[in-house]
Every structure is written in structure tokens, then in C-alpha cells.
């Protein structure tokens, strides 16, 4: 069965202009055209549109979605499973946010003040000073450490939240590639590794490919880093390490 563009727009709750844009990007091209040249969408096109809109709701950029779905290894079922996990995590996050709002309103109603820990508990457990002493002992003599200390010394709570958001987007992209069976030396995986390197470069210190390889090896060798990534996806620490090495080799 073929669907006209207006029908698809109504079904998906998007505008006709949006579908035109997806077509121009090569993100969603209609399978057929009528004799008059009108776009006609098949059921398979609707399935692809569903996947696109799910990724978009999860914070993926359109070009990122296009590249991910263009991979020969892209599998719709695996993608849906990965999307479900991301949505489930987002639901838990929003439930925690809702609980915080209710808790804050209840405290206000009682005329009580919440502790700082209670006020910010749901925003994550990232503590930039958690390993400060260890980091200082190992790398305190380096220019990278001094530059990182200079930058982070100015960061506010909002800066750290923005850092976490950006880091989360990069991590989700890498996890999706792993779920989709994309090899670590595939250009998509290498591009994601490059984004991770540039993220460090922007927020902490100039991060060369060689330094990034050292970090990637630490993700596997250090149980704390490995556990962080393994909680996201089994095998993710090694996948990141391999993608970082492949990206560094490409950059030479």
C-alpha cells in the first residue's frame, strides 16, 4: 500500500515540510513516485520513519541518524532493542526528576529547607574531585593536568551539567553502534571516537590522538573505568579502546 506525503505527515504527526527535509538529506526517500511525480511511501518507509523519529526523540542529530541507518550492519530489531533501553533509562531519569519536584514542593509546603545533597541528588553522581588526589599524584607534573585544573577551576554546576549532557550523547552514539554490530574500525565508529577526543579537547586539555589512545587503554585496564562502560553495554570498554586506536591510526 502506498501513502501520499500528506497521509504520512498526519500519521507521524510531523509536517510535510519535515518529510521534504528528510528526503533532501537522504534520510527518508519515498520508495515510489506517482505518474504526476508525487511522493509515495511504502510500509517499509513508515518503519524507517518510526526509527528516525525514535532516534530524534532520544537526542540524536539528523546526520548522525542518517549515517547510523546507512550502515550495512544496521538491523531494525537490534536498533529497537537499543532504543528501548535508552527510553527506559530516560523514564527512570524523569521519574527521579518528578520525585525531586514533589519532594521540593512538599518541603516548601512544610516551610523546610532541603539539604544541598537532596536538592541536586538526581542530577547524577559525577564528582570531578573524586579522584583528584590520585590524578594529581600521577599527572600533576604534566602540562595537561595544569591546563585541566585551570579550565575546570572556572566551571560552574551548569557547566558540569552541560559536560555530562554532551558526554552522554557521545556515549549513546557509541553504544548504538556497538548494538548495531558496527565494527570498531568502521568509519562510523572512528568518527564517534573522534567526537569523544574532541570533547576532552574542548573541556579539559589539548588531547592528541596519542594521548587519546592512552586513555582508551586505561578504559580497559582500570577496573573503575571498565566497570563504568560495562554497565552501559557489555564489551563497550574494549569497543571504545579499539575505535580510539583505529581513529588514531586513520589520523596519521
Note the CATH number of domain 3-57.
1.10.1660.10
162-202 tens-digit pLDDT: 888 888 889 899 999 999 999 999 999 999 999 999 998 89
Q: Could you say which DSSP state residue 123 is in? A: G
**Is there a contact between 114 and 103 (Cβ–Cβ < 8 Å)?**
yes
Task: Using pLDDT thresholds of 50, 70 and 90, give the confidence band for residue 215.
Answer: confident
Q: What is the pLDDT of residue 119?
A: 56
**Is there a contact between 45 and 28 (Cβ–Cβ < 8 Å)?**
yes
CATH value of 124-251 in 1.20.1510.10, 3.90.730.10, 3.40.50.720, 1.10.490.50:
1.10.490.50
Q: What is the pLDDT of residue 152?
A: 76
pLDDT exceeds cutoff 70 at 226: yes
What is the average pLDDT across 91-95?
Answer: 70
pLDDT exceeds cutoff 80 at 56: yes
| Average predicted confidence (pLDDT) for the chain | 81
Domains 3-57 and 124-251 share a fold: no
Q: What is the pLDDT of residue 135?
A: 45
Written as nine digits, the cell of 118 is 537532596
Q: What is the pLDDT of residue 141?
A: 58
* Segments making up each domain of the chain, as ranges: 3-57, 124-251
Place of cell 604534566: 142
102-116 tens-digit pLDDT: 666 776 676 666 555
Written as nine digits, the cell of 163 is 559536560
Q: What is the pLDDT of residue 193?
A: 94
Amino acid at each position: 500500500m502506498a501513502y501520499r506525503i500528506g497521509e504520512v505527515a498526519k500519521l507521524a504527526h510531523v509536517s510535510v515540510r519535515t518529510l521534504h527535509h528528510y528526503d533532501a538529506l537522504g534520510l527518508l526517500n519515498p520508495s515510489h513516485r506517482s505518474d504526476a511525480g508525487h511522493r509515495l511511501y511504502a510500509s517499509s518507509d513508515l518503519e524507517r520513519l518510526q526509527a528516525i523519529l525514535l532516534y530524534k526523540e532520544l537526542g540524536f542529530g539528523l546526520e548522525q541518524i542518517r549515517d547510523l541507518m546507512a550502515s550495512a550492519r544496521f538491523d531494525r530489531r537490534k536498533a529497537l532493542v537499543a532504543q528501548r533501553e535508552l527510553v527506559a533509562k530516560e523514564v527512570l531519569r524523569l521519574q527521579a526528576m518528578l520525585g525531586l519536584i514533589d519532594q521540593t514542593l512538599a518541603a516548601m509546603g512544610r516551610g523546610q529547607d532541603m539539604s544541598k545533597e537532596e536538592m541536586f541528588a538526581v542530577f547524577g553522581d559525577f564528582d570531578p574531585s573524586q579522584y583528584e588526589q590520585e590524578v594529581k599524584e600521577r599527572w600533576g607534573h604534566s602540562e595537561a593536568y595544569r591546563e585541566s585544573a585551570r579550565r575546570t577551576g572556572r566551571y560552574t554546576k551548569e557547566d558540569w551539567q552541560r559536560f555530562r549532557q554532551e558526554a552522554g550523547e557521545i556515549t549513546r552514539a557509541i553504544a548504538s553502534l556497538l548494538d548495531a554490530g558496527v565494527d570498531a574500525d568502521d568509519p562510523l565508529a572512528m568518527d564517534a571516537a573522534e567526537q569523544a577526543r574532541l570533547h576532552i579537547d574542548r573541556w579539559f586539555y589539548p588531547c592528541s590522538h596519542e594521548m587519546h589512545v592512552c586513555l582508551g587503554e586505561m578504559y580497559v585496564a582500570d577496573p573503575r573505568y571498565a566497570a563504568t562502560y560495562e554497565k552501559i553495554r557489555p564489551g563497550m570498554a574494549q569497543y571504545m579502546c579499539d575505535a580510539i586506536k583505529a581513529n588514531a591510526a586513520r589520523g596519521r
